Amino acid sequence: MRFSLLTSLAALAVGAYAQSSSVDAYVASESPAAKAGLLANIGPSGSKASGAKAGVVIASPSTSNPNYLYTWVRDSSLVFKTIIDQFTTGEDTSLQGLIDQFTTAESILQQTSNPSGSVSTGGLGEPKFNIDETAFTGSWGRPQRDGPALRSTAIITYANWLLANGNGTSYVQNTLWPIIKLDLDYVQNNWNSSTFDLWEEINSSSFFTTAVQHRALRQGAAFANAVGQSSVADGYTTQADNLLCFLQSYWNPSAGYVTSNTGGGRSGKDSNSVLASIHTFDVDAGCDAATFQPCSDKALSNLKVYVDSFRSVYSINIGIASNAAVAVGRYPEDVYFNGNPWYLSVFAVAEQLYDALITWDKQGSLQVTSTSLAFFQQFDSSVTTGTYGSSSSTYSTLTASIKNFAEGFLAINAKYTPANGGLSEQFDKSTGSPLSAADLTWSYASALTAFAARSGKTYASWGASGLTVPSQCNGNAGPTVSVTFNVDATTVFGENIYITGSVPALQDWSPDTALLLSSANYPTWSITVTLPASTVIEYKYIRKNNGQVTWESDPNNSITTPASGAVTQNDSWR
């Protein structure tokens, strides 16, 4: 029996070595291909970014099925965070000019009025623009409130490097701080309003958005203090505390995963949660569960539930062992292009696991809790809750197995990456062939960040260490205004008029908890509501009569609230 066990372990070790060797080869070939692919998609000189202004990132050169020849604030910010990390850590010192072009381009986009509003009336929530820096005016899922948070995080990282190197104080104060402050103020004032998620499909609350907004305000408060803006910093910290409190609400304790979106009618098992964990990774925070650090028990439990949800939905995963890596996508109910694995989602799982390994190595131990037990038992069925030091055999067994698990996800992407290293958005769930937008810039960035984590790299702390979740959330935090809604509506006996809309104060489109208007001045029905200031808010009136609900006709009503004071909105039932 002992001999057969040793033989099995030896076989596993040989298999792991072979897999790591093949992943080594993939990383060696794909690293330069991903870097070149990323740079090719940045104007004005990128070989696939013809027509893009300087510093503008095109999502993909694809112009049909789908047309991604636009610049998304989210994608661009994640791409340039990757570039800025490479520059500020000395990995590539040639990138500074490109970074300066990016900050200039983004300052122009901030001031470009668009369907979401102007710079002072919600326009910073606009998700995408034309590559010549003009507004995209077509219908779209707007607003998307992760962009300003991600953009400020990227630019703060660069600004901190400039301050630390003593060669850009004036530039930071006069050029970068105004850009950063606009984004941070937007986050501060709008974090508690509904948003389209990063897949641009659901208008509710999004775990990814809340997590990156929290990071932005924490990092922003420290930066504001560094540039002498302590009064501003206090406001950011107040809202960061509220965000941290709200972040906890996404955790589903009974099922052991993060419910990534609060609306949309699907499970909430979503790559959104894994991406949030890696993009708010702070090695100084250890395995903190409040910020869902990659090695936290909640993040690991969530990772298992998320990965397992794809084991039976893609044909290419059939026959793979239940504790081995599989292809993963956005969420198991996905129907976009018939629902397929995404390269960036696969890379993200690997990156979370590598980040966890980095942190355990730094700590010199790992902890198994009742929450993370199922995750660890994938690799050692006999493991029990407890803390295992780095000198223990359990620690060695678990970390070696988890490293092999992470390698497996890179091996999947390696298997389905074309020989030229090109990364599309998706690959076919049955054949593995590349699908959707070719040369997706975000796919290339995700490869580079996963490879960096594999090599043990970490980047500057953003202040996640030592945070305490407030005992009570303030869901209406941030500047607010008083809005009186009047609607002219005739009704029959027993019928009442209600209002619901796109922010929590208007019940997030829920007809069940919609707010009752007063009929004291019938046929004018009225209500006064406290709403977030400087925010574009959509709403509708509904009729209720003995349980029957009738909505107003489309389109939604819309109001942009002022920065302060009170306002009255007069409507007629449609």
Phi, psi (rounded to 5 degrees) for 136: -90, 125
Long-range contacts of 153-156 (CB under 8 A, 24+ apart): 153/77, 153/81, 153/212, 153/215, 153/216, 153/219, 153/462, 154/77, 154/78, 154/80, 154/81, 154/84, 155/103, 155/106, 155/179, 155/180, 156/180, 156/219, 156/220, 156/223
Sign of CA dihedral 249, 230, 464, 93: positive
Tell me the two tokens of residue 173.
Answer: 């104060």
Selected catalytic residue, list 100, 200, 201, 333: 200
Task: Sheet with 480-488: list strands edge to edge.
Answer: 518-521, 524-532, 480-488, 566-572
Indicate the length of the chain as a whole number.
574
- Catalytic, 508? Answer no
Strand residue runs (E) in 381-465: 386-389, 426-427, 434-435
Residues 353, 434: contact at Cβ < 8 Å? no
Angle at 75 between CA 88 and CA 161, to 5 degrees: 15
Question: What residues does 569 pair with on adjacent strands?
Answer: 485
Selecting among 30, 126, 197, 552, the annotated active-site residue is: 197
Q: Do the beta carbons of residue 103 and residue 176 sit within 8 Å?
A: yes
Tell me if 177 is assigned to a ligand binding site.
no
Rg for the chain, CA atoms, rounded = 25
Strand partners, 532: 480
CA distance 428 to 503: 37
The strand pair at 557-560 and 548-551 is best described as unpaired
Question: Annotated catalytic, 197?
Answer: yes
CA trace torsion 297, 303, 309, 310 (10° rounding): -160
Q: Are 277 and 293 in contact (CB under 8 A)?
A: yes
Strand partners, 368: 386
Q: Which of 247, 194, 206 is nearest to 504 (CA)?
A: 194
Binding residues: 140
Give the active site residues: 197, 200
Binding residues for substrate: 140
